[in-house]
Amino acid sequence: MNNNIPILEARNLSKTLGSKTIVSNLCFKVYPGEIYGFLGPNGAGKTTTIRMLTSLIFPTMGDVYINAIKLKENREGALKNIGCIVENPELYKYLTAMENLKQFARLKGQTNEDYLYNLLVKVGLPNTADQKVGTFSLGMRQRLGLAQALIGNPKVLILDEPMNGLDPQGMKDIRDILISLAKEDNMAVFISSHLLHEMQMIADRVGIINNGKIIAEDQVSALLSDKTLSLKVDEPERTLALIVNSFNLNGTIKNGEIQLELRNGIEMADIIRLLASRNIDIQDIRMVDQELEDIFFRLVDNETSYLDKRVEGVR
């Protein structure tokens, strides 16, 4: 498979319900072997987008391409390339794990028991093949849902908040499986979440959605590599305004300290010179590590020109 050709693509995807625009002009591409994090707060439009990607609802405008097949023109041909969990996996609790898999496998024309058993191995459930799903923990059910989604060897997995409600170990299990599917089996994984930390640990790239629009898209490493300067002065609001006007930088005030995102070649020394020239005392100044969370809240606070930071896929 050519890793430079997107396996999943949204072009100007929009959804309007009545007079309300829920998703607006979304564009993104996901490549084989890549984990794409679709990150946004509750109500941002993640599930609506995923329902369009998986053909549960029709877009008002725009198109979805799966494996270069236009979903609108060849629904069946496009959908056979995806595996998905939207909302909770549909499982029969009075059937065993294997019986559950067989139910779904039949629909996909897969009945080979060894094949299904291997899927259970892949999701870490080999010893529970004969156990009734009613006795499963949420994490086990979610992993069985993943096995179900993998039936038929899809090229792309589409998962809507698969970590929701899981304990840390349950999250780690899912994370390890997804990373192995992407890196070892070259699968593309599109995963939505409102959990920033989780995305930071798993995604190669993230698209950040807020109010139905993608407000930033970048490799996680690039989003995190912007340098942040923390600055303590007597009058942070006025000083921040001065710096923002002088250097055209983005900044916020957190716990009484100015947090500045250094860009365009502007360095700490430039800030110090400016403040010295205005006789502003600096009580403390230092570079700080950024968390995705800081970036996220700053982006959501000021939906500015971050789209100029969009990058194409990893390879």
Ligand X SMILES: Nc1ncnc2c1ncn2[C@@H]1O[C@H](COP(=O)(O)OP(=O)(O)O)[C@@H](O)[C@H]1O
Specify whether the CB–CB gap between 237 and 253 falls below 8 A. yes
∠ CA 157-160-162, nearest 5°, is 90
Q: Which stretch in 20-28, 45-53, 91-99, 164-172 sits in contact with Mg ion by CB under 5 A?
A: 45-53
Q: Which of 14, 24, 47, 228 contacts Mg ion by CB under 5 A?
A: 47
> Of 40 and 83, which has the nearer Cβ to ligand X?
40
Matching residue, tokens 């698969």: 162
Interacting partner of 44 out of Mg ion, ligand X, none (Cβ under 5 to 8 A depending on kind): ligand X
Q: Which stretch in 41-49, 219-227, 275-283, 290-298 sits in contact with Mg ion by CB under 5 A?
A: 41-49
> Of 40 and 313, which has the nearer Cβ to ligand X?
40
> Of 21 and 131, which has the nearer Cβ to ligand X?
21
Q: How far is the CB of 17 from ligand X (least distance, A)?
A: 5
Q: How far is the CB of 203 from ligand X (least distance, A)?
A: 16
> Of 2 and 42, which has the nearer Cβ to ligand X?
42
> Of 81 and 192, which has the nearer Cβ to ligand X?
192
> Of 55 and 259, which has the nearer Cβ to ligand X?
55
Residue 299 CA from chain centroid, whole number: 15
Q: How far is the CB of 45 from Mg ion (least distance, A)?
A: 8
Contacts of 76 (CB under 8 A, 6+ apart): none
Residues lying near ligand X in the complex (CB under 6 A) are found at 17, 22, 40, 42-48
- What's the maximum distance between 2 C-alpha atoms anywhere in the chain? 77
Count of residues binding Mg ion (CB under 5 A)? 2
> Of 88 and 96, which has the nearer Cβ to ligand X?
88
Does residue 128 bind Mg ion (CB under 5 A)?
A: no
Interacting partner of 2 out of Mg ion, ligand X, none (Cβ under 5 to 8 A depending on kind): none
Specify whether the CB–CB gap between 48 and 59 falls below 8 A. no
Residue 185: name the closest of 227, 144, 135, 150 by CA.
150
Measured CA distances, 88 to 46, 84, 161, 290 (Å): 15, 10, 9, 33
Specify whether the CB–CB gap between 88 and 164 falls below 8 A. no
- Judged on CB neighbours under 10 Å (0-12, 13-18, 19+), 19 is exposed
∠ CA 23-221-170, nearest 5°, is 75
Q: How far is the CB of 39 from ligand X (least distance, A)?
A: 10
Binding site for Mg ion (CB under 5 A): 46-47
